[in-house]
């Protein structure tokens, strides 16, 4: 979520107070990301907003924010690796749009868990896309995650009962994994600001057709929800980036798993979403595997990615 160093001591001297401060920032960041999901779910139940409209406004605000940053810092607007830059934007934009769509169709908890599979897709595809060689244990983690995913999307009656929105949500996780691989490739040549700009611009392009087909005459509540989604998204990314000055990449990546847990709780308490034993087991397996993938990646010294999908 930010271009932070992977080690704690790289920026600040490690003290208990600073580590506690960093964990506090990560907690607030995870809560804001969860709040963003709650607002998207609320948009479906309390207004006439569509996922396309919310996605478009989110990325429009992101584009304005990064544009202001570029102007203020007099950042050079230049991309060396244009193909990967465009691919990062398209994969990330599609992943973000399908995440919002899935929240409105299958619920906050389930959509978040399926979206969280992006790290496992990235691990599975890294040997093909980046020629990396993940460990056997990481492949086992991917297998555990896919088992959990099967429990999430395939009901007891079998594949015939799979809902199309579940598959859309899973495709968003796949797209997010490809976006993450693009980020890793681009991090060697492009700045975090330009990497995020590709995400914001492509997100607007992906969601524009659906957003512009519907009416723009909306209530003040609808505009307020869309603005709050954008502010929560931007704020969470800034806080997480700053938090990595005080905690390690491993700790930060594992704390990011607070968001799907919070979304599951909010989904049940606020929107009365069903949470069966099968859903609990599948979610637990996916989160366990994602946590291991994050821990293994940071052990190899990989920096936290900018603009994680969703």
pLDDT > 60? residue 301: no
pLDDT of residue 308: 44
- Model confidence at 64: pLDDT above 60: yes
On the CB side of 251, CA atoms within 13 Å amount to: 20
Say which residue, 27 or 290, is predicted with more confidence.
27
CA gap 301, 206 in Å, rounded:
33
Rounded mean pLDDT of 165-189? 91
Q: Region 54-74: what's the mean pLDDT?
A: 86
Task: Return d(Cα 284, Cα 264) in angstroms, integer.
Answer: 11
Phi (first) and psi of residue 121, to 5 degrees: -60, -40
Confidence of residue 307 (pLDDT cuts 50, 70, 90): very low
What are 177's two structure tokens?
């994994």
Average pLDDT over residues 3-12: 42
Whether 148 has a pLDDT exceeding 60, the answer reads: yes
Other beta carbons less than 10 A from residue 189's beta carbon: 13
Average pLDDT along the chain: 82
**297 has a pLDDT exceeding 70:** no
pLDDT score of 48: 79
73-122 residue pLDDT tens: 776 778 889 999 999 999 999 999 999 999 999 999 899 989 988 878 88
> Is pLDDT larger for residue 213 or for residue 179?
179
Helix-helix angle 164-186:118-129, to 10 degrees: 50
Query: Is residue 139 over pLDDT 70?
Result: yes
Confidence grade of residue 289 (pLDDT, cut at 50, 70, 90): confident
| Structural domain spans, the chain | 8-299
pLDDT tens readout for residues 228-253? 998 998 888 888 878 877 876 666 66
In angstroms, rounded to a whole number, what is the distance separating the alpha carbons of residues 227 and 59?
A: 10
More confident residue, 7 or 77: 77
pLDDT over threshold 60, residue 298: no
The more confidently predicted of residues 14 and 74 is 74
- For residues 214-234, give the mean pLDDT: 83
Q: How far is CA 12 from CA 24, 88, 236, in A?
A: 16, 31, 21
Residues 6+ apart with CB under 8 A from 29: 1, 235, 236, 237, 239, 240, 243
If pLDDT is split at 50, 70 and 90, which confidence band does 274 have? Answer: confident
Q: What is the pLDDT of residue 270?
A: 92
Q: What is the DSSP letter of 85?
A: H
Alpha helices by DSSP H, listed for the chain, are: 16-46, 51-73, 82-106, 108-115, 118-129, 136-153, 164-186, 192-213, 220-243, 249-255, 258-271, 277-299
Choice between 149 and 7, residue whose per-residue pLDDT is larger: 149
């Amino acid at each position: 979520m930010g271009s932070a160093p992977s080690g704690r001591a790289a920026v600040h001297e490690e003290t208990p107070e600073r580590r506690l401060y960093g964990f506090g920032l990560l907690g607030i960041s995870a809560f804001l990301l969860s709040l963003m999901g709650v607002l998207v779910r609320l948009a479906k139940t309390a207004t006439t907003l569509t996922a396309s409209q919310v996605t478009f406004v989110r990325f429009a605000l992101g584009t304005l924010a990064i544009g202001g940053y570029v102007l203020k810092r007099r950042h050079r607007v230049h991309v060396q690796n244009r193909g990967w830059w465009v691919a990062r934007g398209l994969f990330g934009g599609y992943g973000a749009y399908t995440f919002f769509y899935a929240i409105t169709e299958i619920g906050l908890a389930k959509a978040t868990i399926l979206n969280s599979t992006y790290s496992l897709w990235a691990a599975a595809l890294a040997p093909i896309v980046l020629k990396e060689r993940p460990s056997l244990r990481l492949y086992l983690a991917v297998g555990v995650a896919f088992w959990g995913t099967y429990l999430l999307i395939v009901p007891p009656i079998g594949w015939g009962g799979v809902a199309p929105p579940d598959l859309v949500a899973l495709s968003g996780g796949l797209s997010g994994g490809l976006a993450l691989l693009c980020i890793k490739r681009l991090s060697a040549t492009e700045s975090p600001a330009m990497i995020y700009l590709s995400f914001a611009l492509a997100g607007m392009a992906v969601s524009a057709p659906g957003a512009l087909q519907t009416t723009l005459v909306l209530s003040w509540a609808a505009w307020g929800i869309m603005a709050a989604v954008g502010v929560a998204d931007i704020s969470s990314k800034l806080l997480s980036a700053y938090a990595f000055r005080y905690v390690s990449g491993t700790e930060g990546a594992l704390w990011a798993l607070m968001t799907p847990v919070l979304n599951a709780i909010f989904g049940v308490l606020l929107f009365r979403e069903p949470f069966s034993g099968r859903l609990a087991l599948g979610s637990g397996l996916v989160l366990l595997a994602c946590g291991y993938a994050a821990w293994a990646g940071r052990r190899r010294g990989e920096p936290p990615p900018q603009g994680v999908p969703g």
